[in-house]
A and B are shown apart, each in its own frame.
Chain A
Amino acid sequence: MNGCGGSEHQFSRRQILGSMAAGTAAGGFGSLLQHAAADELQQANDKQVLLIWLDGGMSQLESWDPKPGTHYGGPYRSIPTSLPGIHVSELMPQLAQRMDRLAVVRSMKTEDPNHSSGVPKILRGHPRDRGVVYPYFGAATAHLLGPTPSRLPPYVWVKPGNGGFISSHAGFLGPKYGALALGGGKPPQNLQRPAAISDELDELRHRLRERFNQRYAAGRRPQVSEAGSHVYDLAQTLMKNVDLFDVDTLPAVERDRYGRHELGQHTLLARRLLEAGVRFVQVTSYGWDTHGDNFNAHATRVPRVDQAVSALLDDLQDRGLMERILVVVMAEFGRTPRINGSVGRDHWPNAWSLAMAGCGIRPGVVLGETLADGTDVNSEAWDIGALFHTWYTALGINSQEAEFMNGTQPLPIAHDDMQPIPELLA
């Protein structure tokens, strides 16, 4: 449930962007002008996002912020990186060589130690509580930047398990901005046209449908008619790109480079989706909630992140895409320095790390530090709200002025008490 406002809100993206472009409040122009201005702005913005989400919480101590030889340090060593003086866990040797392309924050300090509430809080950028349900990062970006000229769905979520259309991510923006989820990296259901419908018949039936829709739409407010046609357009765009969803067709050597595991193959799929023009791709890896046997679990899992993200960074660089694709690797929190009785680490929002690269981000930065035993932040602490400001800024969105419209209620896109972090911006 969300307290979403009037029926106008669903198509407010265009109005907001239209008004942003013109530097004035929406409403002064005819709707046609707003549409044109919004489309131009959206097409002018070629920025895209890949969010790699390590659900359950990756341990910062076994990855970005190792504390070898200390009370809570655990069994793994740290290794030097391509940044002088900076070490990371030995579980990520490939990323260590690519640290000069990354920006890492080691002083994340957030509020919520629970998965059920922590995941949505972080994915929404934890804005000030106004009694409304904010969109997730993907839905928000889809709303703010719209689809790219590819017309592919702007927000695709690659995840293990079931797929579908996940409208709950959209919050008050309305289901239109939800995620197209590719469960197990597989394409959506009913994407294949049965052989009984020939190309000619298919063309005919859609032409007729559109003709009926045009006639129905004449003289009406555009919202309902646009929505009714939009989903069929999107369905047809997806069909034209059916090969995109099948990584099996790629050369074995490429698949090997990302790793023959779920995260590797899903990251490869994400790269293809981004290249094809999806605005925002989220790749989720589950199973990071290592309350028991933390060290063996991380020994298996962290190298997969290392392999997949390294292959991705190389590909983005080779293709000249680093300038316009923002990559973020994070979870809802880190893990406790204290090792529990089951040789596990528990939830730890008090001092954790995340990483980013690409579009608008200053490479080779390690921001902030934790105490020698890792129990708390020992520098300025950063909340997720400041990171959302930073990422929106990197994407060319003025995070302190742009607003969502929840019906008639304007809402800041990121926490109004926070700002972008200049050290992270190129």
Chain B
Amino acid sequence: MLTVVSAMASADENPLHRRINQLLPTTAAPADDATFLRRVFLDLAGRIPSVTEAKQFLNDTSPERRKQLIDRLLDSRDYPRRMQEAFHIMLLERRGDHQEWSRFLRDSFEQNRPWDEMVRLLLKPAADDESARGAAWFQTSRLVKEGAMADVDVPGLTRDVGRLLAGVDLGCAQCHDDLVISDYLQQDFQGLQMVFENVVVRTDVGFPAVGEKLLTAPRAFSSVFEQIPRQTAIRVPGAAEVALQTFAEGEEYTVPPDRKSKFPGEPKFSPLQQVAEHLTARENRLFAANLVNRVWFLMLGKGLVWPLDMHHSGNPSQHPQLHDLLGQEFTAHDFDLKWLLREIALTDVYQSDSTPSDPSVPVSVADLSEKRISAESLFWSVLIALEQLDPSDTERSLEQQLAESQPLQELQKQFLKVFANAPKEPELLFEPTVAAALFVMHDEQVLGLLDAESSPLPGRLSQLEDAAEVVQQASLQIYSRPATEVETAELVELLQTAAADQRSETISQLIWAMLASTEFCVNH
């Protein structure tokens, strides 16, 4: 306990972001205010700033303005929505959504639920807590039959628990010790899988929920290479083996099963509870190491360990000292996600320019990489850029505004379909597709948003007589930055040489080209 207290004390005097700066001197120049503004909005609010928000920040001369913006965004109503979207993509990998799951995520980020508590709810869902019970969707969405001949993919769930919550992909250790990675052993996979094989999806309630059968015997298994019988009790990534507890017949349950209502019963010994506790224990380094790596990836565009789910001794962290520091401090701060995001946002590397000093040198740990923007964030950003939605509306959130427009909801569906990955595919790097390009080029509804007669932004810009003003406003509206002199000169010439009856069409195409450009579609 004493060590934790002293770590906290030193953190207050020397906050984490300063210690990161000492460990990680950046070579890149600091990002200018406009670049930082767009980046931090996309990362913490899941959208670009409105013009009002952009002007407010860009006209602010306070030396504390970046810090103040970070705090404003972390306290905004956008923050829980953004984190819900980001963690939904990370944890469900596009397996589909459920309103109870959304509620769990939203509530968790609204109240800044600590990460260890969130994970305990994912692993041992609390059916009697109405706002948190949807966490069971993490398991139930995976415990489904896909096709008449296919078994429920329990190994897939086992693997995902390791990958997503501990950063270890034990997939290859299902049938034998991993042939390449000496840390990944078959007993670890089997000792975790036995827990999930014991899980039943509850059918006695109308919300996602799981129950457990009695687990009384160790897991017997053998490698496909050497048919030697072996066995294991419960194994949790990063923790020691957990012995099974058995009870006399008739005394196994705290609440016995009920056949009539199909309630599966509540065993006294819950393997899910064991996994939940041992995985999230403070001494389990993998637990914190995985999450800080994933948040680092979210903010900086690359993992300290890469691939994100390949933590093992043969694939060390790019910066072990930094990685350890992040893990220790995250643990010492009781797995506080908002605190972690804030500290990373305050670092020099987060606030550096993503244009490298030498483009021929590969990305290093001290660089900020260009990042993929999620389909959700891109959708909100396009509609904000086009003034279809107003994030500054104090009465109605973006989602409430969207709920009032059937056509925009339809557009959202199409948008997510073409910009999101297929189910079960992690969304990591910027991977544009031809499908999305064709959608942006030709979809009637997308093009309708650029119609000067019916849409606010093209309508407004085409009324402006001063061509330079059109360019400046378009740039601030879409790129969240002032147009450069060269850009302004080129585009003013374009607008001035356009025939009078082509001017508003030209402005529409200018807006389209900015939205379709790489600068808009990546977070840089």
Contact = CB atoms under 8 A, between A and B. Distances in A.
Interface stretch (B106-114, B175-183, B188-196): B175-183
Given A232-B516, A235-B441, A175 B431 contact: yes
Interface stretch (B5-13, B15-23, B282-290, B357-365): B357-365
B433 A175 contact: yes
Interface of A: 1, 3-8, 10, 30-31, 115-116, 129-131, 153, 164-168, 174-176, 180, 188-194, 196-197, 201, 204-206, 208-209, 211-213, 215-217, 219-222, 224-225, 227-232, 234-235, 238, 407
B425 A190 contact: no
B169 A1 contact: yes
A225 B436 CA distance: 16
Interface stretch (B63-71, B202-210, B238-246, B507-515): B507-515
A231 B521 CA distance: 13
Nearest to B371: A224
A174 B434 contact: no
A167 B494 CA distance: 39
B422 A232 contact: no
Interface stretch (B269-277, B375-383, B442-450): B442-450
Interface in B51-106: 93
Contacts of B307: 3-5
Closest A-B pairs by Cβ, 6 of them: A228-B518, A208-B513, A212-B517, A190-B438, A205-B509, A209-B513
Contacts of A153: 434
Given A131-B172, A216-B517, A235-B438, 9 more contacts: A1-B171, A3-B307, A3-B310, A31-B360, A174-B429, A204-B506, A208-B509, A208-B514, A221-B359
Given A201-B509, A209-B516, A231 B437 contact: yes
A217 B438 CA distance: 22
A235 B434 contact: yes
Nearest to A203: B509
A224 B370 contact: yes
Which of B169, B514, B517 neighbours the largest number of chain A CB atoms within 10 Å of its CB?
B517
Contacts of B150: 116
Contacts of A168: 422, 425
Interface string B476-508: 000000000011001000100000000001100
Given A209-B516, A212-B514, A7 B302 contact: yes
A213 B90 CA distance: 29
A1 B514 CA distance: 33
B251 interface: no
A217 B518 contact: yes
A205 B424 contact: no
B459 interface: no
B522 interface: yes
Nearest to A218: B355
Given A193-B442, A220-B355, A1 B433 contact: no
Contacts of A167: 421-422, 425, 431, 433
Nearest to A217: B518
Nearest to A238: B434
Contacts of A166: 422
Given A1-B424, A7-B363, A7-B429, A188 B434 contact: yes
Contacts of B421: 167, 175
B374 interface: no
A188 B438 contact: yes
Contacts of A7: 302, 363, 369, 429
B519 interface: yes
Given A190-B442, A208-B510, A215-B487, A131 B181 contact: yes
A193 B441 contact: yes
Nearest to B175: A129
Contact of B443 (A1, A8, A190, A208): A190
Nearest to A191: B438
B306 interface: yes
B429 A196 contact: no
Contacts of B302: 6-7
Nearest to B367: A221
Nearest to B438: A190
B144 interface: no
A217 B178 CA distance: 41
Given A175-B433, A231-B436, A191 B442 contact: yes
Contacts of A191: 438, 442
B71 to A, nearest CB: 30
B220 interface: no
B439 interface: yes
Nearest to B159: A1
A212 B519 contact: yes
Contact of A165 (B356, B435, B486): B435
A238 B494 CA distance: 29
A124 B506 CA distance: 49
A262 B293 CA distance: 49
A190 B426 CA distance: 26
B278 interface: no
A3 B169 contact: yes
Contacts of B494: 208
Contact of A231 (B354, B422, B434): B434
B433 A231 contact: yes
B179 A190 contact: no
Given A190-B438, A228-B521, A204 B430 contact: no
B235 interface: no
7 contacts: A1-B163, A3-B169, A165-B434, A209-B517, A221-B359, A224-B522, A227-B430
A189 B439 CA distance: 8
B218 interface: no
Contacts of B306: 5-6, 407
Contacts of B169: 1, 3
B518 A216 contact: yes
A212 B354 CA distance: 17
B175 to A, nearest CB: 10
B434 A220 contact: no
A178 B59 CA distance: 46
A213 B363 CA distance: 20
B180 A131 contact: yes
B461 to A, nearest CB: 14
